[in-house]
Chains A and B, each alone.
Chain A
Amino acid sequence: MNSIPAPTIEYGTLAPLLVVFGAAIIGVLVEAFAPRYLRKAIHVPLTLLSLAGAFALVLVQVLRGQVSTTASAVGALAVDGPSLFIWGVILVLSFVCVLLINDEGHFVASAAAVPGSADEEEAESAGGGHTEVYPLVLFAVGGMLLFPASHDLLMMFVALEVMSLPLYLLCGLARRRRLLSQEASMKYFLLGAFSSAFFLYGTAMIYGYAGTVSLPGINQALARGAALDPLLMIGLAMLGVGLMFKIGAAPFQAWKPDVYQGAPTPITALMASGTLVAAVGAVLRVFWVGLGNLDWNWRPVIWGVAALTMIVGSILAITQTDIKRMLAYSSIAHAGFLLVGVMATFGTAEQNASSLKAILFYLAVYGITTVGAFAVVTLVRDPGGEAGHLSRWAGLGKRAPMLAGVFAFFLLAFAGIPLTSGFFGKYAVFAAALDSGTQPGDSMGGWMAALVVVGVVASAIAAFFYVRVIVLMFFSEPSADGPAIAVPSMGTVTVIAVSLLVTVGVGLYPESVLGVADDAARSLFIR
């Protein structure tokens, strides 16, 4: 009678995950066995098809109405409506990021060669390249899918590592400015390792308090147990640090500008969109599901973090002179706006669903605009690589009016100007936050309104630096030796076109995405 019962695995529900991980493992085998000249030809279709296939499997589940209402894989995963929406968004974003990755010239020929050495030159002239970026990306994407769908803290930790480790590596693979890239990789790895340790330590503390790592289990323990137990408080703080690090909320934002600047731009795009989406999903799950009964306790803390993040992100962005660093600070500010939405919790499920809808919508539209913006960044080049310094962008509107126009539109979307998708995202989270503050008996009350005012002030500050880039591009005269505009590949054109279409389309008719987000959010998280 000592036999271990076989766990039930819902293969159908988990199929998108399995496809991505399966393809990643096949990718590793390809690296091991396929000849060098064939590898890219195998990787590209494999990666794209697996991502598309996983997306199709997500769609099938949604369209058939088979969204599961119970936890899968013996309570380790929750593939509920919000998870499926986030999966869909991540898969679309990573698909377009892979199109960017395909472009020549982003990745180093031989990462192990010392920058500027003869080895490097040799590898470059031999046309070498790191084709393992494809399986690495697939593993990272798999981790991103797993992260927001984890139903217990251990699973979430595993997902965090699966997502982060490939990204640490990918950050160090930039072809140009390799020292900057390696520095970024190192910083990201060290700080990321710290934050993972915090997360794990917090998990242990909470296990000590609740006797379980399962999120609903923790919530039930909270309903019964003492709310001011030191174990719980320490655990909550540690867990929070780990999660806030991943979304880049202040005061844990310091890695973002360095890493975003140093990493190869397609990888930056993946991190700025996919990782952020996944991390916000995980934040929601931990705070809403796991700590739902403690919201009067964490909401004031998140209030401070959100306000600080918005202000720090938008003020420090003003002083930036590098386009990727500026976008990194912009991403920090947006993380703050998303946290405003995370705070919009209510007493009733219906109202919670409406704030969840707002956050999901924000994630989808922000992610796609971000990828588009980084795709444009890859095209503006100097002899030494991308023209990162803002002064190099002066007069771009005259040299390449189409490209500059598209980029200006993306910036206006980030700034949240009406008739772009970004406006409705911002509106949705602010509306949810104000709504929750006006509910009778809400623990934050007027503080929510104050937070929204902080949010709009931060938006106004942020608008300044977005507009500054537009001024540079359109109202300044181009310099004689301005950057070259690379002829975009089909892949890059597709990425920019898709991003633009979504940003414009959702800006004019947001109901298209809102409706989907509404369906996804209505079921709320599995508890």
Chain B
Amino acid sequence: MSPWLPILMAVPVVGAIVVALLPKGSDKLAKQVTLLVSLLVLVLTGVMAAGFKPSGERFQFVAEYDWIPSFGVKFGVGVDGVALVLIALSAVLVPIVVLASWHDADGVKTADGTLITPKRSVKTYFSLLLVLETMMIGVFAATDIFLFYVFFEAMLIPMYFMIGSYGGAQRSYAAVKFLLYSLFGGLLMLVAVIGLYVVAGSKTFMFPELVGAIQDPTMQKWLFGGFFIAFAIKAPLWPVHTWLPDAAAQAPAGAAVLLVGVLDKVGTFGMLRFCLELFPDAAKTFTVPIVVLAVISIIYGAIVAIGQTDMKRLIAYTSISHFGFIVMGVFAMSSVAQSGAALYMVNHGFATGALFLAAGFLIARRGSPFIGDYGGVQKVAPVLAGFFLVAGLAGLSLPGLSSFVSEFMVMIGTYSSQAHGSGALTAAAIVSAVAVILAAVYILWMVQRTLNGPTAEPVKPFKDLNAREVWVLAPLVALIIGFGFFPKPLLDVINPSVQQTLTNVGVPTSTIAEKGTGQ
């Protein structure tokens, strides 16, 4: 019994209650309290992570309490390497998002004073953010599948309100679409969760005890389907991706970062942990069709991104392409590809987070998300332009930046995978390589149209980043460059748990490559 994870989950929710109960008119205090709480969580996460032993037990910081004995449900938490880095990702992103959203609920004004979004309740926004942080930690930490499901569904609600109440013009449409898509997937997963419990007959939802519990191949396929559809919607995978561009474009930039950076990772995380380990035979059976869907996502997302005129939609489509890579890596059934996929989840969070936030700062200045409304930002706001460029380059996986390492590992691992359907996997890796070129097109073209060229008239009064905004982007860029050159600390934590996954799936893991540990 380790108190770490319950404490990590309790701190934000207590903070949320405190923020919600602050007296009227204490908006500034609410922001400060939120920032402090999220920094406290970051520090606690850091201290906890330092105590994680990569070579030790798979699940560490384990805690189990009886929650609903009548249903056999426990409040069971614990982290393996992949869960740990994703919790760390959430803990890093939340304070950054708090800083970035500092004025989002105050009513966003453009330089010439027109109101983009009206003033809304600041306290509600920040307490929702903290509630969401608790749930993000909980969903990755849960070792009880029922508990995982509870967080998986419940975390939709704060995000729904963040999009619906604080987003752009089409916010209520986007929020409802987001909620209904996710809810539908979640309900199918609920059936599968119940089915797992009933068929396994072991009267428990604890993940470690359910590994290998379902032997019947037909049953595996059905249950796999229930879980996979939910995760595919969440991830999101083509053809169930259409909610993401709407939601991400309408959400305030900070919420979009958490949505794409963390919430969607639950989908790929769930595939890696639950779909593969609980239903290994079904996962192998469906490898080829899923990888085909992933490749379609990769190429389709990239091509559609090129055609976007709205920056946030463009970034959302690039994410669909990136999630395609992650899914391909997860199902390639090789340790290099899976480690790459897990690493990609983290790196994508940093890279896309930085891109969304930099775009958000541009939009806050101009009041328009459309690329065509910009031009020549570099001359008036060089620092902002510089950060935007670096974030963009991370998005196209430039060597030396963190996402390159993971994308390379996924492609190499998929190409050389010895798993079932290896021919198809090799082909998939080759086809997906086209996306590397497409990525250069969509990012560089956007960068060129916004940053370079003659300075557009409305862009001229732009102020460069203030100190707060630099504090938002600098840590992310530092992480992107740092992990680009030295991803080893992350890989050291990820590799053992990926090996464990592959062992449970029944794939030999003798060749753990240490690729991608440097340039």
A binding-site residues for B, Cβ under 8 Å:
357, 397, 401, 412, 415, 417-419, 423-424, 427-428, 430-431, 434-435, 438, 449, 452-453, 456-457, 459-460, 463-464, 467-468, 470-471, 474-476, 509-511, 514-515, 518
Contacts and interface: CB of A to CB of B under 8 A. Distances in A.
B70 A431 contact: no
Given A418-B150, A475-B175, A511-B67, A427 B157 contact: no
B490 interface: no
A456 B190 contact: yes
Interface string B94-115: 0000000000000000000000
Contacts of A419: 150, 154
A514 B150 contact: no
Interface string B145-187: 0000111011011001100110000011001100110011001
Contacts of A476: 172
Nearest to A446: B222
16 contacts: A357-B70, A401-B121, A412-B157, A418-B149, A418-B150, A418-B151, A419-B154, A423-B150, A430-B191, A438-B195, A460-B187, A470-B164, A509-B67, A510-B68, A510-B70, A511-B67
B197 interface: yes
Contacts of A510: 68, 70-71
Nearest to B66: A511
A417 B157 contact: yes
Contacts of A453: 188, 191
B194 interface: yes
Interface in B439-494: none
A424 B179 CA distance: 20
B175 A434 contact: no
A429 to B, nearest CB: 10
B191 A435 contact: no
Contact of B194 (A423, A424, A434, A518): A434
Contacts of B156: 417
B191 A456 contact: yes
A518 B157 contact: no
Contacts of B171: 475
Task: Pick from B70, B161, B195, B198 the residue with the most CB of A within 10 Å.
Answer: B70
Task: Pick from A401, A464, A468, A518 the residue with the most CB of B within 10 Å.
Answer: A464
A418 B153 contact: yes
Interface residues of B, number: 34
A510 B71 CA distance: 10
Contacts of A418: 149-151, 153-154
B199 interface: yes
Nearest to A426: B190
A475 B153 contact: no
Given A514-B70, A518-B70, A430 B190 contact: yes
Given A471-B176, A518-B70, A427 B187 contact: no
Given A460-B183, A467-B176, A434 B154 contact: no
A346 B423 CA distance: 49
A475 B172 contact: yes
Contacts of A463: 179-180, 183
Contacts of A438: 195, 198-199
Nearest to A517: B70
A418 B154 CA distance: 5
B25 interface: no
Interface in B84-133: 121
Contacts, number: 93
The 4 closest A-B pairs by CB, nearest first: A456-B187, A475-B172, A418-B150, A460-B184
Contact of B191 (A401, A428, A449): A449
B307 interface: no
A353 B286 CA distance: 39
Contact of B70 (A417, A470, A511): A511
Contact of A467 (B70, B180, B187): B180
A476 B169 CA distance: 11
B71 A428 contact: yes
A452 B154 contact: no
A518 B69 CA distance: 11
Task: Pick from B149, B151, B179 the residue with the most CB of A within 10 Å.
Answer: B179
Given A419-B150, A427-B71, A471 B164 contact: yes
Given A460-B183, A460-B184, A431 B172 contact: no
B190 A427 contact: yes
B133 to A, nearest CB: 15
Contacts of A459: 187
Task: Pick from A397, A424, A456, A476 the residue with the most CB of B within 10 Å.
Answer: A456
A470 B157 CA distance: 11
A325 to B, nearest CB: 21
A281 B199 CA distance: 29
B221 to A, nearest CB: 13
Interface in B41-75: 67-71
A464 B180 contact: yes
Given A449-B191, A456-B191, A464-B180, A471 B70 contact: no
Given A467-B176, A471-B176, A427 B194 contact: yes
Given A449-B191, A460-B180, 13 more contacts: A415-B183, A418-B154, A427-B71, A430-B194, A431-B194, A456-B188, A470-B164, A471-B172, A471-B175, A474-B161, A475-B171, A475-B172, A510-B70
Contacts of B199: 438
Contacts of A460: 180, 183-184, 187
Contacts of A475: 164-165, 171-172, 175
A297 B353 CA distance: 59
Given A460-B183, A475-B175, A431 B150 contact: no
Contacts of B175: 471, 475
A439 B164 CA distance: 44
A103 B289 CA distance: 62
Interface string B389-414: 00000000000000000000000000
A431 B198 contact: yes
A474 B183 CA distance: 20
B149 A452 contact: no
Contacts of A357: 70
A457 B153 CA distance: 15
B30 to A, nearest CB: 15
Contacts of A431: 71, 194, 197-198
Contacts of A511: 67-70
B6 to A, nearest CB: 14
Contacts of A474: 161, 164-165
A434 B172 contact: no
Task: Pick from A418, A430, A452, A515 the residue with the most CB of B within 10 Å.
Answer: A418
Contacts of B71: 427-428, 431, 510, 514
Nearest to B151: A418
A417 B153 contact: yes
A439 B68 CA distance: 23
B65 to A, nearest CB: 11
Task: Pick from B153, B165, B190 the residue with the most CB of A within 10 Å.
Answer: B190
A346 B161 CA distance: 42
Contacts of B179: 463, 467
Nearest to B199: A438
Nearest to A412: B157
Contacts of A456: 187-188, 190-191
A427 to B, nearest CB: 7
B198 to A, nearest CB: 5
Contacts of B195: 434, 438, 449
Contacts of A518: 70
B114 to A, nearest CB: 17
Nearest to A453: B191
B154 A417 contact: yes
A424 B70 CA distance: 11
B157 to A, nearest CB: 6
Contacts of B190: 427, 430, 456
Contacts of B149: 418
Nearest to A475: B172
Task: Pick from B121, B188, B191 the residue with the most CB of A within 10 Å.
Answer: B191
